[in-house]
Amino acid sequence: MGTKKIDKLFNPKVIAVIGATARKGTVGHSLMKNIIGSGFDGIVYPINPKRTNVIGVKAYASIDEVPDKVDLAIIATPAKTVPAIVEECGQAGVSGILLISAGF
């Protein structure tokens, strides 16, 4: 694997937070707030099929609706949903995935 692929994992320009939510106290909410508040100068796409926006950012129902190629997908959903989401990420051409999930 070349360093270009690893760079997208550690220095992404486009991030999708799958499981993003506006509900305080959740992992999806904390991830969105931390990424946006960290000074990240790339694009962050919240993914949540039940929301139209998360913390003022337009949300998408699934990764395949995101208008840009995603460098890093952060998955913060229940374990039972992860395999299908990982498959969707692969089909959408996502370069890297970070799993933050419990129940495996």
DSSP-derived secondary structure for 5-19: HHHHHHS-SEEEEET
The fold adopted by the segment(s) 3-99 is Rossmann fold (3.40.50)
In one-letter notation, the amino acid at residue 23 is R
pLDDT (0 to 100) of residue 2? 61
Q: Over 60: is that where the pLDDT of 49 sits?
A: yes
Residues 28 and 49 sit within 8 Å (Cβ to Cβ): no
> What residues contact 79, with CB distance under 8 A and at least 6 apart?
101, 102, 103, 104
pLDDT band, residue 8 (cuts 50/70/90):
confident
The conformation of residue 64, written as its DSSP 8-state character, comes to G
Structure tokens at 38: 């960290």
Mean pLDDT of 8-19: 93
